[in-house]
Amino acid sequence: MGQVTRAAYADAFRKATGRPLIRLPQTAGRTESEIFFDALALNEADSLAAAPAGEEVLGRFAAELAPAFRARRALLTEQGRLLPGARAAVAEVAGLPGVVQTLLTGSIRPNAIEKLRAFALERFFDTEVGGYGSEVYPKGALLLNARGRAAEKYGVEFGEEATVYIADSTRDVAAAKIGGARSVAVASGRSSAAELRDAGADVVLADLADTANVVRAVDWLTTPAVTG
């Protein structure tokens, strides 16, 4: 899926800035807006980042990125894959009583939904209340925004003890702390289990293959402690 994303980025970057995307910055755990402004600097286009022009060019990039990604939809399943156990994990967690499952991702909302649809996962998520890279905020703030939208839609407050962020990078573990959430970190990305543990993840899993283990972690982190 990385090749699809890079090709879409290159297409959108050229149309938004008039310059080729030669170098793509680190993307793991980051939002589209963070990646875009770093890409401007790496590709000698940082003069475009100055306010207010920076917000305008970011808007153009986001507007171009959605159709560039959608045009490559068929490649998602050809070049991408679901991690073992991912489908069963999201299905089981979505079925837990009282659970609202959504996305917190650096991707813009249309592209995040395209990824879900490509692997028939959209029905397990309420994408309306998620946090996306189209918002110019770091992920910790996106998490707070998502909790606020969920509370407004469902009429229930989602406090720290009721929010679990399932992630695969140390940046995401940090975002969970900032946004007031527990974290289940999965060592399936660039961050190792040791790095995720050192970053302060509440639970670290090697992968999602053991569905019961995933459900158990979410249930444990959201069950109030019994005192007295």
- pLDDT score at 63: 92
Q: Residue holding tokens 């209340």?
A: 129
pLDDT reading at 141 higher than 80: yes
- pLDDT score at 116: 95
For 46-74, write each residue's pLDDT tens digit. Answer: 777 776 667 888 889 989 999 999 999 88
CA angle (62 as vertex; 125, 33 as ends), nearest 5: 85
Would you say 104 and 129 are in contact if contact means Cβ atoms under 8 Å apart?
no
| Span 83-222 CATH architecture | 3-Layer(aba) Sandwich (3.40)
- pLDDT score at 148: 94
pLDDT reading at 173 higher than 60: yes
Element (H, E) at 203: strand 203-205
For 95-137, write each residue's pLDDT tens digit. Answer: 999 999 999 998 999 999 999 999 999 999 999 999 998 777 7
Which phi-psi region, left, alpha or beta, contains residue 215 (left: φ > 0; alpha: ψ -120 to 50)? alpha
- pLDDT score at 228: 39
Q: Residues near 79 by Cβ (< 8 Å), separated by ≥ 6?
A: 1, 3, 4
For 215-227, write each residue's pLDDT tens digit. Answer: 999 999 988 743 3
Pick 149 or 5 by higher pLDDT: 149
- pLDDT score at 225: 46
Q: Which amino acid is residue 141, in one-letter code?
A: A
Would you say 142 and 179 are in contact if contact means Cβ atoms under 8 Å apart?
yes
- pLDDT score at 197: 97
- pLDDT score at 110: 93
- pLDDT score at 51: 63
Q: pTM to 2 decimals?
A: 0.85
pLDDT reading at 32 higher than 50: yes
pLDDT reading at 186 higher than 70: yes
Examine residue 20 and say whether the peptide bond preceding it is cis (omega within 30 degrees of 0). no
Structure tokens at 85: 């156990």
Sheet of strand 203-205, all strands in order from the earlier edge strand to the far edge: 164-167, 182-186, 203-205
- pLDDT score at 52: 67
Would you say 215 and 99 are in contact if contact means Cβ atoms under 8 Å apart?
no
